[in-house]
């Protein structure tokens, strides 16, 4: 028999519940991982039993746990500990200094790699690094740096390791740049990014134990930013089921701290139908549990439908074989009642894809199936309406915050005003989920995405939209929580703080609703709770933070710099320390709270 008492009560908070029937509350009671009750501190006393634990939220602003509806979390996790992140780094000189330090400490045969999440617009210098600077900083350590989906730089050592020479032919849709002396080290997507990813795939991987440790640290980084759920969009070189073993084992051990729904992404051009025909027999949507569930197909369904979001290059026209190939796969998926998602950047591509879906629907009705387009930066009203009629949704991400300047240069400021037309999507009644598409173009930091949704500005500060395409803070938050829930068919289970929903929430470092615009980018969680349990705590909640094994590779850049760059808090700067062996306090420039007397982050 279930007890009437709560396992936990969190009180003295300022909850924004996103539940219209009770938008604000000061306390919640949790039982069996779900909200038992939501209300005032006094209300919760009724649920307090002899063994109920009570946590004082110290008047913090509390929101439902964030849900990124398009994140490459599995791949990001397998690689996190190996990657140097320039996400949020304010200057190129800082970025190059980090590169130089990291190259020195990276042992062979490992590479130093910066795999997206940054743009030169964020740097004070407003420029990219040069190959001379990269070679100078990295010397004999192979180095790979990815910029958006358009280029990568290899230093001379990496060119040698990859075996690229002046005789290496350019792959189709890609360029290995050369000059009179041979290869320069620059790889360019024209506009197929495969040359970038296939080169990165030549770098050493982590062994399974280290990859597991890396995934845990990546999830902790998500928790630090208030994320409690994500939908994994698959990804190039992420093979099912082999590359899912690490995450499955973590879930099995109870060590997953971000709930994950995952889509299956075909890796084999021309054999996509084969993959999906096999997979619909191997597993089914919803298989798994609250922490890890199968969510259907995509974001790649057929390679002929891949339009690359590289605004430095002209829009690619999809090949004529796209329609028949996509139709075959769509028939299998709809016939098997598999939800699916499809990567689509341009309206012209979306028109053709919708032609296919409408034809399939005549034969095999979609009938409420949750399917969606990802990205849809230039979708027009007519196609939004067609999506709505077919019962589809649109998952949007802040890719424009990283490449808006390039879009404006090519297509003009007027066209950029609705990239994507979020407000129109909402007005027209299409389900919309928010996310990042991290880790390679945009950063995974949800606060940068919320800043973009509410201010319309790129990370470089350019204003992209008129008032009419901006969201209020609450609307944006809703897309990042409840909105994303629809995309894994969990809209009734997560996204608000209300009785019966999964007890996922975050208490924040600042008041999201009243913080100045620029401060929104720097918000973090100070207490993240998944299923009622604390998965991350900082500041006054540090002691509640569960221990995490240290990063297993002593050369890992994350040990030194953390993930997303943290602004130093000026008031705390006098408490800096340098040599210290705990993960959370070790990162460069981390400041400790006044009154700190010793580190109790880890019990070992």
Tell me if 437 contacts Zn ion by CB under 5 A.
yes
Give the ranges where 30-130 is alpha helix by DSSP (H).
Answer: 41-45, 73-79, 92-105
Comparing CB distances to Zn ion, the nearer of 224 and 343 is 343
Give the whole-angstrom CA distance, residue 211 versus residue 215.
6
Q: To 10 degrees, what angle do helices 322-335 and 347-363 make?
A: 50
The neighbour count for residue 403, using CB atoms within 10 Å, is 27
Comparing CB distances to Zn ion, the nearer of 68 and 299 is 299
Expressed in angstroms, the distance from the first to the final Cα of the chain is: 38
Within 8 A by CB and 6+ apart from 93, the residues are 125
Give the whole-angstrom CA distance, residue 402 versus residue 147.
10
Q: How many residues bind Zn ion (CB under 5 A)?
A: 4
Within 8 A by CB and 6+ apart from 158, the residues are 111, 142, 143, 144, 185
Comparing CB distances to Zn ion, the nearer of 435 and 562 is 435
Comparing CB distances to Zn ion, the nearer of 148 and 233 is 233
Tell me if 233 contacts Zn ion by CB under 5 A.
yes
Handedness of CA 437, 443, 446, 450 (dihedral sign): negative
Comparing CB distances to Zn ion, the nearer of 313 and 437 is 437
Comparing CB distances to Zn ion, the nearer of 233 and 369 is 233
Binding characters for Zn ion, 180-219, by CB under 5 A (x = yes): ----------------------------------------
Give the whole-angstrom CA distance, residue 110 versus residue 325.
39
Comparing CB distances to Zn ion, the nearer of 371 and 512 is 371
Closest distance to Zn ion from the beta carbon of 309 (Å)? 7
Closest distance to Zn ion from the beta carbon of 483 (Å)? 17
Tell me if 154 contacts Zn ion by CB under 5 A.
no
Window 511 to 550, contacts with Zn ion (CB under 5 A): none
Separation in Å, CA 370 to CA 121, 252, 367, 383, 425: 36, 27, 9, 17, 16
Judged by CB under 5 A, the stretch of 135-143, 236-244, 342-350, 457-465 that binds Zn ion is 342-350
Judged by CB under 5 A, the stretch of 120-128, 418-426, 430-438, 521-529 that binds Zn ion is 430-438
Closest distance to Zn ion from the beta carbon of 421 (Å)? 18
Handedness of CA 136, 189, 342, 417 (dihedral sign): positive
Tell me if 399 contacts Zn ion by CB under 5 A.
no
Comparing CB distances to Zn ion, the nearer of 144 and 373 is 373
Binding characters for Zn ion, 275-304, by CB under 5 A (x = yes): ------------------------x-----
Judged by CB under 5 A, the stretch of 35-43, 184-192, 339-347, 445-453 that binds Zn ion is 339-347
- Laid out side by side, the sheet with 533-537 consists of 24-25, 14-16, 61-64, 505-508, 525-530, 533-537
Judged by CB under 5 A, the stretch of 164-172, 318-326, 332-340, 343-351 that binds Zn ion is 343-351
Comparing CB distances to Zn ion, the nearer of 155 and 349 is 349
Closest distance to Zn ion from the beta carbon of 432 (Å)? 16
Give the whole-angstrom CA distance, residue 58 versus residue 514.
17
Give the ranges where 175-291 is alpha helix by DSSP (H).
Answer: 194-200, 208-224, 245-252, 272-282
Comparing CB distances to Zn ion, the nearer of 259 and 343 is 343
Give the whole-angstrom CA distance, residue 433 versus residue 479.
5
Pairing outcome for strands 227-232 and 66-71: parallel
Element (H, E) at 114: strand 112-115
Within 8 A by CB and 6+ apart from 64, the residues are 17, 18, 477, 481, 482, 494, 495, 496, 497, 504, 505, 506
Window 28 to 67, contacts with Zn ion (CB under 5 A): none
**Out of 34, 113, 343, 478, the residue judged to bind Zn ion by CB under 5 A:** 343
Closest distance to Zn ion from the beta carbon of 458 (Å)? 19
- Report which residue's Cβ sits closest to Zn ion: 343
Closest distance to Zn ion from the beta carbon of 22 (Å)? 35
Closest distance to Zn ion from the beta carbon of 308 (Å)? 9
Which residues contribute to the site for Zn ion (CB under 5 A)? 233, 299, 343, 437
């Amino acid at each position: 028999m279930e007890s009437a008492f709560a396992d936990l009560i969190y009180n003295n908070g300022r909850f924004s519940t996103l539940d219209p029937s009770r938008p604000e509350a000061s306390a919640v009671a949790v039982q069996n991982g779900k909200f038992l009750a939501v209300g005032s501190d006094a209300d919760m006393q009724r649920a307090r039993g002899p063994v109920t634990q009570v946590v004082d939220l110290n008047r913090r602003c509390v929101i439902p746990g964030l849900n990124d509806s398009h994140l490459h979390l599995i791949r990001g996790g397998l690689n996190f500990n190996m990657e140097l992140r320039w996400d949020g780094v304010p200057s190129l000189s800082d970025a190059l200094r980090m590169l130089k330090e990291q190259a020195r400490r990276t042992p062979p045969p490992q590479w130093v790699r910066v795999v997206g999440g940054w743009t030169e617009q964020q740097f004070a210098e407003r420029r990219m690094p040069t190959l001379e600077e990269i070679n100078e900083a990295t010397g004999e350590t192979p180095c790979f740096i990815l910029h958006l989906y358009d280029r990568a730089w290899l230093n001379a050592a990496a060119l040698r390791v990859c075996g690229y020479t002046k005789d290496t032919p350019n792959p189709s849709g890609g360029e290995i740049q050369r000059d009179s002396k041979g290869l320069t080290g620059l790889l360019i997507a024209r506009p197929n990014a495969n040359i970038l990813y296939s080169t990165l795939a030549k770098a050493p991987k982590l062994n399974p134990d280290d990859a597991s440790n890396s995934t845990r640290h990546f999830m902790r980084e998500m928790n630090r930013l208030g994320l409690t759920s994500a939908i994994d969009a698959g990804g190039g070189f992420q093979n099912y089921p082999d590359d899912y073993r690490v995450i499955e084992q973590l879930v099995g051990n109870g060590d997953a701290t971000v709930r994950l729904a995952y889509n299956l992404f075909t890796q084999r051009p021309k054999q996509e139908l084969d993959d999906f025909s096999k997979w619909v027999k191997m597993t089914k949507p919803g298989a798994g549990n609250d922490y890890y569930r199968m969510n259907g197909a995509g974001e790649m369904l057929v390679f002929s439908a891949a339009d690359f979001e590289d605004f430095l290059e002209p829009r690619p026209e999809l090949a004529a074989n796209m329609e028949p190939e996509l139709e075959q796969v769509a028939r299998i998926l709809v016939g098997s009642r598999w939800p699916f998602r499809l990567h689509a950047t341009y309206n012209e591509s979306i028109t053709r894809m919708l032609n296919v879906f409408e034809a399939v629907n005549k034969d095999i009705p979609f009938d409420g199936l949750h399917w969606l387009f990802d990205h849809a930066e230039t979708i027009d009203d007519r196609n939004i309406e067609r999506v709505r009629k077919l019962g589809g949704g649109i998952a949007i991400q802040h890719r424009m915050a990283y490449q808006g300047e390039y879009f404006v240069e090519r297509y003009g400021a007027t066209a950029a005003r609705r990239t994507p037309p979020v407000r129109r999507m909402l007005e027209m009644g299409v389900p919309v989920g928010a996310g990042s598409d991290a880790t390679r173009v945009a950063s995974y930091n949800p606060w940068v995405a919320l800043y973009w949704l509410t201010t319309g500005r790129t990370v470089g500060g350019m204003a992209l939209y008129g008032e009419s395409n901006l969201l209020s803070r609450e609307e944006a938050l809703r897309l990042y929580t409840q909105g994303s829930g629809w995309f894994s068919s969990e809209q009734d289970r997560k996204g608000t703080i209300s009785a019966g929903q999964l007890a996922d929430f975050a208490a924040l470092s600042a008041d999201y609703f009243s913080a100045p615009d620029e401060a929104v980018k720097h918000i973090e969680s100070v207490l993240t709770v998944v299923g009622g349990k604390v998965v991350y705590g900082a500041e006054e909640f540090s002691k509640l933070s569960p221990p995490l094994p240290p990063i297993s590779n002593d050369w890992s850049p994350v040990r030194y710099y953390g993930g997303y760059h943290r602004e130093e808090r000026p008031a705390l700067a006098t408490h800096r320390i340098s040599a210290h062996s705990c993960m959370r306090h070790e990162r460069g420039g981390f400041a400790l709270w006044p009154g700190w007397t010793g580190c109790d982050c880890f019990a070992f």
